[in-house]
Homo-oligomer: A and B are copies of this chain.
Amino acid sequence: MRLSFILSSLILCALSAPAQNSQSTTEPAVRLVLERQQEAWNHHDLESFMTGYWNSPEVTFFSGARIYSGWQSTIERYRKSCQSEGREMGKLEFSDLNIEALATNAAWVRGTWRLTMSDGKTPHGLFTLILRKFPDGWKIVHDHTSAAE
Nearest B residue (CB) for A8: B10
* A interface majority secondary structure: strand
Interface pairs A-B: 3 shortest CB-CB: A65-B148, A103-B103, A102-B106
Task: Say whether B142 contacts A144, CB under 8 Å.
Answer: no
Task: Say whether A124 contacts B11, CB under 8 Å.
Answer: no
- Binary flags per residue of A100-119, CB closer than 8 Å to B gives 1, else 0: 00110010101010000000
A126 to B149, CA, bound (A): 15
Task: Say whether A125 contacts B65, CB under 8 Å.
Answer: yes
Task: Say whether B128 contacts A62, CB under 8 Å.
Answer: yes
Chain A residues at the B interface, C-beta cutoff of 8 Å: 3, 6-7, 10-11, 14-15, 60, 62-67, 102-103, 106, 108, 110, 112, 124-128, 130, 142, 144, 146-149
Task: Say whether A60 contacts B11, CB under 8 Å.
Answer: no
Nearest CB in chain B: distance from A144 CB, A: 4
Task: Say whether A65 contacts B146, CB under 8 Å.
Answer: yes
Most chain B CB inside 10 Å of its own CB: which residue of A6, A124, A126: A126
Task: Say whether A126 contacts B144, CB under 8 Å.
Answer: yes
Q: Which of B106, B128, B146, B149 contacts A106 (CB 8 A)?
A: B106
